[in-house]
Every structure is written in structure tokens, then in C-alpha cells.
């Protein structure tokens, strides 16, 4: 289909799939008088027939696109982010084991996943020719690659599943929150105080049993607005972030529309909180 053609060029009126694909994937620089051109081209006998065909094609195309976008659902995300964490945790554990072993053969042996990758690529000393050690290193490198791929998947899918959460937190944090809550709907139904301490359950229950202070933040600690705030005001920042994330989760679950103002409101609030440390007014809250 060339850039000056309408969606109806080269499509078979009897094939709804082809028509829908033309609607979804086509493009044109400028609009033209498509109804008249379609009649002229013999696609439809008159304008009415053209509009009937157009309606059928756009409805079919939109339905297919909606289904496809919605299938990228929160369950997929939960599995992906958990698999990602499993892969990187296992890679790290194996990398430690590998470093201990390699250290007995080569005193210069390094540590961590980066070293395992080096070893797997054969960039290290000949003393480490031992095939089982190299093979173990290859497994570690593969697992680390898998974790990277899963992270890329999460970063790609989260904005489709939860556009506002992904915009407010980074996509991986958004996915972790959904995973901890057990789904987007479950997250949307949680009060912001619960979201604030998701991932800090041990500390929370220690507090409830009466022998620890209440946790200020859970997994949202990794949010820049929390981590980047002076410890004295971190509780306030965590509360502000959790509040906006709770709203974002509800908008994502119940409407799905992106609300850019949420991000700006959060940035504004966090700036106010961080400014307290600057002018040393930290004691007051709100």
C-alpha cells in the first residue's frame, strides 16, 4: 500500500482479517476524499456501502487491537517479574559458588556474575581450562542473560498493563508492586498505607508484635523520590509516593487512561518535602 492510498486499496471485501489489518497497519501522509475514491475505484457501489464496509473494518480492527493490548495483562507481568528475580538470585548464588571454586585453581580469580561471564567466554587464565568449571560459568552467564531478557519484557509490558504506575514508578518497581499485591486489581484495592509497606512484611509484623518501630517503607524504597530524600523526611516522601501510586493503580485498573498530571503532582509534593531538609524545617510534618 503506498503512502497515498486509502485503507481499502488492495483489500478483499470478503476477508475481514485483511481489511482489519489494513486499518491497523496502514498509514498516509494526508487524508483524501476516501469515500469518493473508494466508489471510483469500484470498492463500493456508493457512499453508503463504503461506510458500511468501513464500519465493519474499523470495528474488527479495533476489537482485535484491544484484545491484543489487554491480553498483555497483569498476570503475565507477575510471572515475569517473579521469574526475573528468581533468575538473578540464582545467578548470584551460583556465581558465589563459582568464585569459591575458581579461587582454589587460580588465585587471581574474580567474583560475581561479571567474572562468571568472563570465564564463560574463555577470557581468563589457562589454569581454568577445567571443563566443569567453565560449564558452570556458562550456566551462570545464561541465567544472568535470562534475567536481563525478563527485565526487558517487564519494561516493555508494564506501560501497556499499568500506564500510570509505570510512569510514576519505574516499570520494574510497578511490576513488583503488582506482584506483591497479587495483581493489579488487588493493588488497586489496597489503601496507600499498605502500599507504603508492601515488601516490608517482616518489619511490619515485628512492629505489630510490639518489639520494633513501624517500617517507613517497603519496596517503594527503590523509588528515587524516597531514596533521594534525607532519612529524616523519608517517611513523608514514602507516604507521598505511596499515595500517588495508590491513585495510579486505581486509575490503571478502573479506567486505563494515562493521567500525566499525577506525575507532576508527585514531583511537586516531593520537591516540597525535600526542601524541608534544605531549610532545616524537618520537624514539622505537612
The site for other proteins (CB under 8 A) is made up of: 1, 5-7, 22-23, 26-35, 51-52, 54-55, 58-59, 61-63, 65-66, 69-70, 160, 163, 255-261, 264-265, 268
Going by C-alpha positions, the residue among 86, 118, 116 that lies closest to residue 100 is 116
Rank residues 123 and 261 by Cβ distance to other proteins and give the closer one. 261
Rank residues 124 and 157 by Cβ distance to other proteins and give the closer one. 157
CA distance 186 to 216: 21
What Rg, from alpha-carbon coordinates, does the chain have?
Answer: 27
- Rounded to a whole number of angstroms, the minimum distance from the CB of residue 99 to other proteins is 46
Rank residues 205 and 254 by Cβ distance to other proteins and give the closer one. 254
- Rounded to a whole number of angstroms, the minimum distance from the CB of residue 56 to other proteins is 10
CA distance 254 to 172: 21
CA distance 118 to 100: 15
Rank residues 22 and 187 by Cβ distance to other proteins and give the closer one. 22
**What end-to-end distance do the CA atoms of the chain give, in Å?**
60
CA distance 128 to 268: 55
Going by C-alpha positions, the residue among 77, 264, 84, 272 that lies closest to residue 167 is 264
CB atoms inside a 10 Å sphere around CB 135: 10
The answer to whether 236 and 285 have CB atoms below 8 angstroms apart is yes
Rank residues 19 and 84 by Cβ distance to other proteins and give the closer one. 19
- Rounded to a whole number of angstroms, the minimum distance from the CB of residue 61 to other proteins is 8
- Rounded to a whole number of angstroms, the minimum distance from the CB of residue 144 to other proteins is 33
- Rounded to a whole number of angstroms, the minimum distance from the CB of residue 262 to other proteins is 9
CA distance 33 to 50: 12
- Rounded to a whole number of angstroms, the minimum distance from the CB of residue 275 to other proteins is 14
Rank residues 65 and 127 by Cβ distance to other proteins and give the closer one. 65
Quick one: how far is CA 182 from the chain centroid? Answer: 15
Amino acid at each position: 500500500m503506498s503512502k497515498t492510498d486509502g485503507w481499502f486499496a488492495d483489500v478483499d471485501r470478503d476477508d475481514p482479517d485483511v481489511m482489519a489489518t489494513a486499518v491497523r497497519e496502514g498509514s498516509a501522509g494526508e487524508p483524501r476524499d476516501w469515500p469518493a475514491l473508494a466508489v471510483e475505484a469500484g470498492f463500493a457501489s456508493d457512499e453508503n456501502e463504503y461506510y458500511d464496509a468501513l464500519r465493519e473494518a474499523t470495528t474488527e480492527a479495533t476489537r482485535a487491537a484491544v484484545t491484543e493490548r489487554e491480553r498483555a495483562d497483569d498476570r503475565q507481568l507477575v510471572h515475569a517479574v517473579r521469574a526475573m528475580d528468581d533468575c538473578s538470585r540464582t545467578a548470584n548464588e551460583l556465581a558465589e559458588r563459582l568464585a569459591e571454586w575458581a579461587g582454589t585453581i587460580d588465585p587471581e580469580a574474580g567474583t560475581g556474575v561479571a567474572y562468571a561471564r568472563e570465564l564463560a567466554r574463555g577470557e581468563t587464565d589457562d589454569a581454568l581450562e577445567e571443563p566443569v568449571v567453565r560449564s558452570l560459568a556458562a550456566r551462570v552467564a545464561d541465567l544472568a542473560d535470562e534475567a536481563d531478557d525478563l527485565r526487558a519484557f517487564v519494561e516493555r509490558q508494564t506501560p501497556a498493563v499499568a500506564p500510570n504506575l509505570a510512569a510514576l514508578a519505574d516499570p520494574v518497581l510497578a511490576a513488583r508492586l503488582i506482584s506483591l499485591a497479587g495483581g493489579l486489581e488487588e493493588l488497586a484495592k489496597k489503601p496507600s498505607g499498605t502500599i507504603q509497606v508492601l515488601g516490608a512484611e517482616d518489619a511490619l509484623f515485628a512492629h505489630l508484635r510490639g518489639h520494633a518501630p513501624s517500617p517507613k517503607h517497603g519496596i517503594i524504597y527503590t523509588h528515587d523520590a524516597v531514596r533521594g530524600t534525607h532519612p529524616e523526611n523519608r517517611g513523608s516522601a514514602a507516604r507521598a509516593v505511596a499515595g500517588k501510586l495508590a491513585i495510579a493503580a486505581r486509575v490503571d485498573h478502573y479506567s486505563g487512561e494515562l493521567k500525566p498530571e499525577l506525575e507532576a503532582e508527585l514531583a511537586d509534593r516531593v520537591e516540597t518535602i525535600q526542601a524541608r531538609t534544605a531549610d532545616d524545617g524537618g520537624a514539622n510534618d505537612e
